[in-house]
Amino acid sequence: LRTFLIRNGLSTLFKDGPSAYKAYYLRQMNIWGTSAVKQRQLSKMLDEWAVYIRRKYGNKQLSSSVYLTEAEPFLEQYARRSPENQVLIGSAGNLVRVEEFLAVIEGGRDEEGDLETEREAPPSSPRQAKDEVQKDEGLIVFFPGIPGCAKSALCKELLNAPGGLGDNRPIHTLMGDLTKGKYWQKVADERRRKPYSVMLADKNAPNEEVWRQIEDMCRRTRASAVPVVPDSGGTESNPFSLDALAVFMFRVLERVNHPGNLDKNSPNAGYVLLMFYHLYEGKSRKEFDGELVERFGSLIKMPLLKDDRSPLPDHVRSVLEEGISLYKLHTSKHGRLESTKGSYAQEWAKWEKQMRETLFGNADYLQSIQVPFESAAKQVLEQLKLIAKGEYKAPSTEKRNFGTIVFAAVSLPVTEIQSLLVELAGKDPTIDLFFKEDLERNLKKAHVTLAHKRSHGVTAVASYGPYVNRNVPVELTSLLFTDKMAAFEAHLGSVDDEKIVSKNQWPHVTIWTGVGVIPKEANMLPQLHSEGKATLIEINPPFTISGTLEFY
């Protein structure tokens, strides 16, 4: 109810209106096989929810990260009206009891949520998010990208891959630059002619209008669709970083005789790239990825930039920022008029020249930071094969798009925690002896729990929504351990001058527990130390580490 019918329908409700939202949730219920009686009951409640939340927020979309702060009070009030409503909704708001208990055992997590217990894989369910391509339907692979993202080269690799996707379905491609007329209509026609094939839609698919066409095509021609996007950190308002934009521009300027006439001989190549870049403006990378997963049930990220690359040179960043500023000036006055026309034509010509000189002057750097194409293409093919086999798992950054959010935490890099332990072990043989056998096996994840649904409630967890995906500085000041468990004491820093405060009485990072010990018991370490039953080793000066605030 909360995840699929309310949260996942927010973008449709606010962008396309109540009618589209109704079509969305009815389609979802039909997929589940919900009875006609239950559909009528749920429709009445969801229609009322749509009116309530649109009246309160107008056209400003409610963020999916904090939607529970609005949904829970609404559901609670609706449930109180009648016993029938209570049965329909279950528990909500202050009535939550069973739901919060289920949240604790969800995924095998303990109340604290620091460590996961081993568990058997659950049986597949027809109600799970669509992550498997049925063999009696087709597949559309499409590319929400920017010119220069290597989609045509990738399509060629996929087309020629021995064995295809491993399921005997033929693979076809349709190149946008060589297709006359309405491209997506041509794709739809091809889908009808070859309904059980894999279609590689070799054309940039940059906006929701195109995504809706693809969704409609999937419904009409019995197909699934998989978006393939260049992996990029993005900015606060764009899913693509300036590093990625620089690489895309550089690749375009290296082209010769491009069938779409976008290559080194194009006088306004930089402007065209900026135009595509701004088609994505207004969405962070997490929002962009999340919406694609919401719509299509899967997402493939094509590796683009090396993790260990050096920062973008200042003069490259500067020329891109100048181009973005000029683009905003141009479009505010002339709309989509070509850059070679209008009152900024001379400025554009000057910038295009400067941009080329700057990028070619940094050619070695721009080539060195890219993941080799062969490796990137191989990873995409492997992910497509997993989807075809039904073994696909959503990217880790999207885990809050599936299932109920259980807790909020600052996720820390394990390698840095391990390095700190090695350093401490070098100074204290007790630590070395204590951890040498167990640490490597147990320390797979590390984080500071901020709030847990079981202990602190839904609203407490949701209150961290504005800081999701933001970096939080953390100081580790001491190591406490017994023969049963070990944890670092943690002091959280600030984001935008706002102190991040954990709801836990003792913020910490659990790094080890003995057999049969649940991680929640690490909360007792300070008390055990005061009773002389735990060892404390101060870290002076404190070890500073940076982590990402996430929902789990």
Query: Residue 441 has what pLDDT?
Result: 54
Q: Is residue 195 a part of any domain in this protein?
A: yes
33 burial via Cβ count (<10 Å: 0-12, 13-18, 19+): exposed
* Spatial separation of the C-alpha atoms in residues 547 and 415, rounded to whole Å: 12
Asked if 180 and 312 sit in the same domain, the reply is yes
Q: Is residue 120 a part of any domain in this protein?
A: no
For residue range 104-163, list pLDDT tens digits in order.
Answer: 334 344 444 444 443 333 333 333 334 444 455 788 999 999 999 999 999 999 988 888
Cβ distance 511 to 417 under 8 Å? yes
CA neighbor of 356 nearest in space, from 439, 252, 442, 512: 252
Asked if 339 and 417 sit in the same domain, the reply is no
Asked if 99 and 155 sit in the same domain, the reply is no
The residue with tokens 């550089």 is 250
Asked if 357 and 415 sit in the same domain, the reply is no
Query: Residue 114 has what pLDDT?
Result: 45
Q: Is residue 205 a part of any domain in this protein?
A: yes
Q: Is residue 122 a part of any domain in this protein?
A: no
Asked if 381 and 431 sit in the same domain, the reply is no
For residue range 229-241, list pLDDT tens digits in order.
Answer: 999 888 878 999 9
At 525, which CATH number?
3.90.1740.10
Spell out, as residue ranges, where the chain has pLDDT lower than 70: 64-66, 90-136, 390-404, 432-442
* Spatial separation of the C-alpha atoms in residues 5 and 409, rounded to whole Å: 26
For every residue of 280-334, DSSP letters joined together read TTT--HHHHHHHHHHHHS--EEE--B-TTPPPPPHHHHHHHHHHHHHHHHHHHHH
Asked if 333 and 430 sit in the same domain, the reply is no
- Note down the domain range covering 154: 139-389
* Spatial separation of the C-alpha atoms in residues 142 and 229, rounded to whole Å: 9
For residue range 225-281, list pLDDT tens digits in order.
Answer: 899 999 988 887 899 999 999 999 999 999 888 877 788 899 999 999 999 999 988
Query: Residue 65 has what pLDDT?
Result: 59
Query: Residue 244 has what pLDDT?
Result: 95
* Spatial separation of the C-alpha atoms in residues 34 and 30, rounded to whole Å: 6
Cβ distance 280 to 239 under 8 Å? yes
* Spatial separation of the C-alpha atoms in residues 361 and 24, rounded to whole Å: 50
Angle at 488 between CA 499 and CA 460, to 5 degrees: 40
The residue with tokens 């919401």 is 294
Asked if 246 and 382 sit in the same domain, the reply is yes
Q: Which of 79, 103, 127 is the last residue of a domain?
A: 103
Domain count, the chain: 3
Kindly report whether the peptide bond that precedes residue 541 is cis, defined as omega within 30 degrees of 0: yes
Model confidence, pTM: 0.52
- Which structure tokens are listed for 64? 């999916």
Query: Residue 297 has what pLDDT?
Result: 77
Q: Which ranges in 194-236 belong to alpha helices (H)?
A: 208-221
Asked if 350 and 444 sit in the same domain, the reply is no
Query: Residue 99 has what pLDDT?
Result: 39
The C-alpha torsion from 411 through 412 and 414 to 415, rounded to 10°, is 150
Query: Residue 141 has what pLDDT?
Result: 94
CA separation, residue 217 to residues 77, 184, 221, 304, 364 (Å)? 39, 9, 6, 29, 43
Q: Is residue 174 a part of any domain in this protein?
A: yes
- Which structure tokens are listed for 37? 């009686």
Q: Is residue 398 a part of any domain in this protein?
A: no
Q: Which of 389, 422, 457 is the last residue of a domain?
A: 389
Asked if 238 and 342 sit in the same domain, the reply is yes
* Spatial separation of the C-alpha atoms in residues 259 and 175, rounded to whole Å: 10
Query: Residue 125 has what pLDDT?
Result: 34
Asked if 202 and 299 sit in the same domain, the reply is yes
Cβ distance 172 to 197 under 8 Å? yes
Query: Residue 304 has what pLDDT?
Result: 93
Angle at 475 between CA 474 and CA 481, to 5 degrees: 115
Cβ distance 468 to 549 under 8 Å? yes
Buried b (16+ CB within 10 A) or exposed e, 438-472: ebeebbebbbbbbbbbbbbbbebbbbbbebbbbeb
Cβ distance 479 to 537 under 8 Å? yes
Q: What radius of gyration, in Å, describes the C-alpha atoms of the chain?
A: 26
3-state secondary structure of 373: helix
Residues 6+ apart with CB under 8 A from 335: none
Query: Residue 130 has what pLDDT?
Result: 40
Provide, for the chain, the percentages of residues in helix, strand and coil under a 3-state DSSP scheme, each rounded to the nearest 5: 50, 15, 35
Q: Is residue 402 a part of any domain in this protein?
A: no
Q: How many residues does the chain have?
A: 552
Q: Is residue 378 a part of any domain in this protein?
A: yes
Query: Residue 115 has what pLDDT?
Result: 46
Asked if 385 and 411 sit in the same domain, the reply is no
Q: Which of 389, 424, 446 is the last residue of a domain?
A: 389
Asked if 76 and 193 sit in the same domain, the reply is no
